[in-house]
């Protein structure tokens, strides 16, 4: 075989560049079918990389059908023998589907079914169906009874002073952001977003063709000093539980951000998701509790209660509220009137506060168990991010393996884990970081899942 020599670039893992080079040579017909490949050791020596790096490249080529192994030797496959599905898959750079059944799914966003108040929710839902109002379309901005309950809750739990009139009910955070973007785009051409940050928010802003400035966020918090060089007067942040790092913005930084936005005469969009679940101390007050005139507050019931309920809410400052209601007055509500009435009863009866207190303890115990199992199984090969709050954990894996490889390898052992590269504006992390939700897993599931990951990643 011809010598494979090329210059490595700095922005991609070396194993991936080797894989791409071989793939290109095979697809262009520059390597003959059934031609023998250099050994892992020979290729590593030729390219001045580790044997592990060449092994990873070969493994990916085998998985996608470009090469095959026969004994201890490797050979080029005939391109025509690749199935249409394999070709399509490799074109989009998707890992091959695992044939192994998923035993443990570390998906974030599910809820603990065992502790869900099913009987109470069902009883209240049945009561709601006896109301004549349940057989109508309802209010375009949400039912008043629910908005009143949310206003009471926000004052008690988050220190936000508002009233039912200032609250808008919607189906999801993304839907609220798309609607909000419609009334903001005439006055604001750009927006500051966190990097890394919630990709769903970025997609909502892209919908209205906002240009982006990025605020760097590290595992220790946001770099607010960078705000001084930015021109945008609109910023989207997740201060109570950063997405994805999970770090909370300290009170000093919150005041700094408020002072900056007042100077800029713009608005902060505060996404307060997961704020109920802080395990080491009481949650910090919301930004909207410090200055309601410059903060647009977003909250939802999907993470803390039930994803399928499709209930979110937004508190708007008065100037934006008037414009929003004028713009969307003739549009029907995007969320179920039955869910709204039931949640209003659930909150009014005190069940909501009882549920949050109960689940905070349940999820704290699960978080601690997950952290304990990782420390037991992986020792010094990982670091854990975000264990103080929230409904998922991040695990930084110190190895030459890529995020894609870690996820694919886990699936071969029946474990589904999730990427964090999607949260980065350039979809790139120096060291792979894996996201693991735990809310709908038992203690036994968590223990088994981590043991399987240990086998998969060893």
Give the up-direction half-sphere exposure of residue 294: CA atoms within 13 A in the CB hemisphere: 20
> Look-up: residue for tokens 């031609």?
35
Please report which confidence band the pLDDT of residue 426 belongs to, taking 50, 70 and 90 as the band edges: confident
Cβ–Cβ under 8 Å, residues 77 and 66 = yes
Q: Of the ranges 189-203, 276-290, 390-404, which one carries the lowest mean pLDDT score?
A: 276-290
234-244 per-position pLDDT tens digit: 999 999 999 99
Q: Which pair of tokens denotes residue 36?
A: 């023998």
**Parallel/antiparallel/unpaired status of strands 433-437 and 392-397:** antiparallel
pTM value is 0.77
Domains of the chain: 14-91 (1.10.10.10), 104-113+355-457 (3.90.1150.10), 118-349 (3.40.640.10)
Predicted local distance difference test score (pLDDT) of residue 61: 84
- Output the CA–CA distances (angstroms, integers) from residue 212 to 201, 238, 254, 402, in the order listed: 12, 16, 22, 28
Dihedral Cα 96, 100, 101, 102, nearest 10 deg: -70
| pLDDT above 70 for 92 | no
- Phi, psi dihedral angles at 422 (to 5 degrees): -65, -20
Give the up-direction half-sphere exposure of residue 133: CA atoms within 13 A in the CB hemisphere: 15
List, in sequence order, every residue forming a beta bridge with 214; answer none if it has no partner. 193
> Look-up: residue for tokens 């995020």?
403
Please report which confidence band the pLDDT of residue 95 belongs to, taking 50, 70 and 90 as the band edges: very low
């Amino acid at each position: 075989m011809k010598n494979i020599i090329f210059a490595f670039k700095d922005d991609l893992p070396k194993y991936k560049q080797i894989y791409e080079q071989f793939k290109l040579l095979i697809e262009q017909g520059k390597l003959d079918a059934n031609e023998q490949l250099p050994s892992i050791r020979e290729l590593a020596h030729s390219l001045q990389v580790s044997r592990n790096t060449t092994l990873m490249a070969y493994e990916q080529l085998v998985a996608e059908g470009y090469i095959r192994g026969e004994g201890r030797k490797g050979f080029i496959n005939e391109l025509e023998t690749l199935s249409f599905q394999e070709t399509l898959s490799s074109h989009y750079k998707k890992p091959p589907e695992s044939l192994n059944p998923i035993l443990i799914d570390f998906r974030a966003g599910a809820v603990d079914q065992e502790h869900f108040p099913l009987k109470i929710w069902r009883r209240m839902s049945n009561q709601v169906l006896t109301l004549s109002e349940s057989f109508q379309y309802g209010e375009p901005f949400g039912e008043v009874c629910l908005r009143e309950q949310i206003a009471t809750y926000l004052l008690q739990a988050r220190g936000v002073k508002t009233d039912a009139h200032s609250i808008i009910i919607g189906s999801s955070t993304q839907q609220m952001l798309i609607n909000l973007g419609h009334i903001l785009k005439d006055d604001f051409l750009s927006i500051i977003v966190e990097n890394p940050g919630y990709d769903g928010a970025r997609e909502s802003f892209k919908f209205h063709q906002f240009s982006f400035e990025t605020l760097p966020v590290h595992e220790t918090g946001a770099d607010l000093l960078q705000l001084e060089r930015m021109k945008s007067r609109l910023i989207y942040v997740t201060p109570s539980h950063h997405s994805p790092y999970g770090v909370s913005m300290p009170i000093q930084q919150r005041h700094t951000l408020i002072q900056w936005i007042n100077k800029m005469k713009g608005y902060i969009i505060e996404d307060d998701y997961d704020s109920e679940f802080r395990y080491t101390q009481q949650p910090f007050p919301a930004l909207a509790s410090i200055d309601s005139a410059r903060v647009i507050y977003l909250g939802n019931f999907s993470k803390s209660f039930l994803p399928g309920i499709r209930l979110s809410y937004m508190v708007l400052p008065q100037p934006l509220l008037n414009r929003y209601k004028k713009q969307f007055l003739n549009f029907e509500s995007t969320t179920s009137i039955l869910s709204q009435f039931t949640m209003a009863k659930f909150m009014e009866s005190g069940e909501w506060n009882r549920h949050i207190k109960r689940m905070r303890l349940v999820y704290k115990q699960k978080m601690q168990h997950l952290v304990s199992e990782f420390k037991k199984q992986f020792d010094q090969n990982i670091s854990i991010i975000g264990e103080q709050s929230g409904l998922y954990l991040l695990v930084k894996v110190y190895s030459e393996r890529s995020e894609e490889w870690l996820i694919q390898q886990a699936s071969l052992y029946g474990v589904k884990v999730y990427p964090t590269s999607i949260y980065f504006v350039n979809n790139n992390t120096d060291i792979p970081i894996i996201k693991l939700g735990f809310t709908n897993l038992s203690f036994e599931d968590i223990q088994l899942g981590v043991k399987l990951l240990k086998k998969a990643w060893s």
